Chains A and B, each alone.
Chain A
Amino acid sequence: MDTVGWWSFVRFAHVAGAALWVGGQLALSLVVLPLARRLLAPEAKDSFTAAAGRRFGMLTGAVFLPVQLATGWAMAWHKGVTWASLAEPGYGRTLATKLALFAVVMLAAACHGIAHARGRADLARALATVSLVGSLGVVLLATALPTT
């Protein structure tokens, strides 16, 4: 088997997607938004924040989420993961926990969007932080999984 084969490509897409999403969140919340808050006028800041959030949300829903789900599913299939094996201690349970945490992160991100739309700024910020920190947790759990 080739060292760099089709499955490496699938894994690459999965890892790169995660890196872009987590990195994008970090860049937005640590660099872009604080600068926007400091440099832009209040109205401009609000519309900029909303637009940035919407753009990132669309990117998430349209590209990131489908790619992660498809590649993740494919790799699990390739490794022979079954529903029953998800409950077993070790690989299965770690993977199941990672999936659950990922679901929570996605939920937090979705709620962030809703809260933002309803003008609940504080709640939205808290949820965005939960989503960001939680996705770091997903990455942590992913590194604990042996390579497929």
Chain B
Amino acid sequence: MTGIEARPPTGTGNGNGGEPGTYPNRFRASGVKARHLRAHVLVVAWLAAALLAVAAQGTLPVAQWLAVHMFLLGAVTTAILIWSEHFAVALLHAKVPDARWSAARLGTANLAVAGLIVGMWTASPALTAVFATLLAAAAVAHLVMLIRLGRGALGGRLKPIVAYYRVATAALIAGVVLGGLLAAGGAGGPDRYAGLRLAHIHVTLLGWIGLPVLGTLFMLWPTVLGVRMKDRTTKVSRWVLWLTGGGLLVAVVALALGWRWPAAAGLALYVEGAALTVNLLARTVRGNRAVSAAAAWTLAAATCWLLIVVVTDLAWLVVRPLAAAQTGIDRLLPVLLIGFVAQILIGALTYLLPVVLSSGPRDRAAERAVLERGWPTRLVALNAGVALAALPLPGPAVTAGMLLAVLAGAAFLVPAVAVLVRSGLARSRNAGTDSASQRPAVWGTAAGAVLIVLAVLVANSGGDTDNPAVASATGGGATTATRTVDVTLAAMRIHPARIEIAAGTVLRLRITNDDAQRHDLKVQDGPATPMLAKGDTRVLDIGPVTGNREAWCTLPGHKAAGMTMDIVVKGHDTAKDSGGHEGHASAADNAGPDLSADFSTGWHARDADLAPAPGGTVHKVELRAAHTTVEVAPGTRQQMWTFGGTAPGPTLRGKVGDVFEITLVNDDTGMGHGIDFHAGALAPDKPMRTLDPGERLVYRFRAEKAGAWLYHCSTTPMLQHIGNGMYGAVVIDPPGLAKVDHEYLLVSSALYLGTPGSTAQVTKMRRNTPDAWAFNGIANQYAQQPLKVKAGERARFWVVAAGPSDGVAFHIVGTVFDTVYKEGAHLLKPGQPGGAQVLDLAPAQGGFVETTFPEAGHYAFVDHDMRRAEAGAHGMVEVSE
């Protein structure tokens, strides 16, 4: 047994004792060992980076891509490059290739991967293309090396396995090309994208990673078990390569072209090949004690996952069309990545690291003991986690499973690092002190520099710091400026909805989909992104923009639902402020304000609480008419005409018989205003006359009747005066009004954006096409800052419809009104058997409804005219226990 351990992995497999003695010494040479050590430091570093990226999943949009590629392209690719070369030399009994060229290939590949990752992270297509080419070049060099090794080499019994490495390297090249196509977004429509993406995934995972693993297992498996290889291994390995390689070729070409059935057929061949391998491996098992039980179990579990994943993958392809199968296959990826790839890496390194790094049998046993520490726990945790993640269980179980699997996999890093450090220290102790004295400084500087580069990358991530609702991008002077704008797709909106740039600006859009569903973005007469899943980011180079353009999501119905964006060249007609184009309001205006955005910081919703009537029977109030600029919708500021500085104006409340004495002062410049209180009866002639700027008037009325009354500006055109905000409510309590826990007042109105009084705005008022609707003057305000009530409490909602042209159908989702009071009369009282669902008010009518909130939850209140509800006339009552 010890004799087996002392030899490199192929020693047993060859069976003819004299031959192996010719090459182990070459691998023991310290140069080769040093290279292995350095290369495995790289592998471990990539693994750690991938884990960091996994941890950053929530905060970085590209984190998932980064994690997958740091792991597969960084760690796994480096490992395959090292080991395929190592095994090829051993299996072919060839001469060890020039160390400098090997290092150059490995270095180039790693540099290319690092560059690719930076390119994708910074969303720079040029950088990505350059480094993808470099990676392909490194792969070609590796392929050339593998082919040249075969020439004139003696060749052992297991020579066919080297063919696996060659085919796999070709698969890597194909995978890089496909990946480059995907990254460039030049793939065509969404269906095409799905096919190319599936082809990329299959050729890399099943080709570049799957084939070398299957091939290597033919000789590694018996070695790890410590048994003789089956005689038919050579023959079986040839068949399996034909089945898997040929099947994969068919599958990948078919997938890239979007042909589903040939793809399934190719994959079936691959499954057949994998099954043949597993069959042979299973028959190899004998009852003896394995050389490394940890490695054997881990390799076996990993191979099982490969088989499971490939069979499931085939099933998805058979039952679903490509685009739909994608979702199912995506769910397999974590299983394949951790269950198969990570586990095979762990299993192989557990056996191989001691073989290549140790200096003697005792050293090897010690290293193996370190690597195998706690292996049964890690094995069980990893596979249980993967199984949890693979089964169709609810979200938390899947997350917990993934976490368990990742942690169990990451736990291998600890012994791996320990062995590498041990081996490294042993080497540096042996090395001369002169050369060693300068090394720590070099290592330290390199590590520090890597830290700084990482830190700068993190600090610069997340794009431009300024991202207002309207992204303004002005080029300076005559030179053409380049401008990158971050665009977010969320809640069926494109944010920002409008980009203003100077003519000739070279525009780049960095588009991120934050929505749960897939979207893309197509620029009029310009490029389009592929379909973006949640969290995906793509960069579109629009080039110099000289005229107004539109951009939209191409999915059916999404454009109509409001997923449009205007790219407006400054100086061109912008319709918003121009009065000359009646009825030609820009698309941005038609889409209305972006209600999914956030209000600016420091913004507060208007208090909806209605205070009880103040004491006394005479209420004196001063109202000043003026212009005020208000945030009427998230991020949208609008000049309003106001009473008392707000729209709606201050609420007046009293009892039947109270006298109201209002002093109206017209503070406006250049515009007359008046006032009309519906709550009082008097001759309109004098009190409701129009006041010139600077004039004042005392309006005195007695509230003889109870009700929820409107007051508004009495100056014509009233459509504009009310439409621009000059309205408010007067609440006169009916006698015997019961006490309730909460009383709210909601004044409903329509919002018309644009310069008040401009032709464009007035046209919208005349046609009754408001930009939004609102309760208490600000669209969506109570959706962002909900009203707060406790379960079981009774609330009264006073509602007044200010118009100017629309009424309101007030409804609270999840409640039934037991009291309805409308226009001075109770339509429904608590004792009655009936209930009410809506308080319907024509423009200028008012009333109240009462309800008790049965349990904790979120009760939306809406104008049940859904066009208005979806465009701002809705809010939320948050009911807590």
Contacts and interface: CB of A to CB of B under 8 A. Distances in A.
Contacts of A141: 455-456, 459
Given A122-B440, A133-B444, A89 B452 contact: no
B441 A125 contact: yes
Contact of B461 (A91, A93, A101, A128): A93
A97 B428 contact: no
Contacts of B59: 87
Instruction: Classify chain A's interface size.
Output: 20 to 34
A134 B448 contact: yes
A104 B451 CA distance: 9
A90 B452 contact: no
Contacts of B462: 88-90, 93
B458 interface: yes
A19 to B, nearest CB: 18
Contacts of B449: 133
A130 interface: yes
B445 interface: yes
Given A122-B439, A125-B441, A126-B443, A134 B452 contact: yes
B436 interface: yes
Interface residues of B, number: 23
Chain B binding surface SS class = helix
B440 A129 contact: yes
B447 interface: yes
Given A88-B462, A89-B461, A91-B465, A130 B447 contact: yes
Contacts of A134: 448, 451-452
Nearest to A102: B455
Given A89-B465, A137-B451, A130 B444 contact: yes
A125 B440 contact: yes
Nearest to B447: A130
Contacts of A97: 455, 458-459
A127 interface: yes
A100 interface: yes
A89 B463 contact: yes
Given A122-B440, A126-B444, A101 B455 contact: yes
A34 to B, nearest CB: 11
Contacts of A133: 444-445, 447-449, 451-452
A60 to B, nearest CB: 17
A64 B581 CA distance: 67
A129 B441 contact: yes
B439 A129 contact: no
Contacts of B445: 129, 133
Contacts, number: 81
A129 B459 contact: no
A93 B462 CA distance: 9
A86 B451 CA distance: 19
A114 interface: no
Interface in A100-124: 100-101, 104, 121-124
A97 B457 CA distance: 9
Contacts of B451: 101, 104, 130, 133-134, 137
Given A87-B59, A89-B465, A127 B444 contact: yes
B443 A129 contact: yes
Contacts of A140: 452, 456
Contact of A94 (B428, B459, B463): B459
Which one of B428, B458, B459 has the highest number of Cβ atoms from chain A below 10 Å of its Cβ?
B459
Contacts of A94: 459
Interface in B16-56: none
Interface string B446-483: 01110110011011011111000000000000000000
B488 to A, nearest CB: 12
B203 to A, nearest CB: 35
A137 B459 CA distance: 12
A75 interface: no
B667 to A, nearest CB: 33
Contacts of A89: 461-465
A125 B462 CA distance: 36
Contacts of A88: 462
Contact of A137 (B428, B436, B443, B448): B448
20 contacts: A89-B461, A89-B462, A90-B464, A93-B458, A94-B459, A101-B451, A121-B440, A122-B436, A125-B440, A126-B441, A127-B444, A128-B444, A129-B440, A130-B448, A131-B448, A133-B445, A133-B447, A136-B448, A137-B451, A141-B459
Given A122-B439, A129-B441, 19 more contacts: A89-B462, A89-B465, A91-B465, A125-B440, A125-B441, A126-B440, A126-B441, A126-B443, A126-B447, A130-B447, A130-B448, A131-B448, A133-B444, A133-B449, A133-B451, A134-B448, A137-B451, A137-B456, A141-B456
Interface of A: 87-91, 93-94, 97-98, 100-101, 104, 121-134, 136-137, 140-141, 144
Closest CB pairs A-B (n = 5): A129-B444, A89-B462, A133-B448, A90-B465, A137-B452
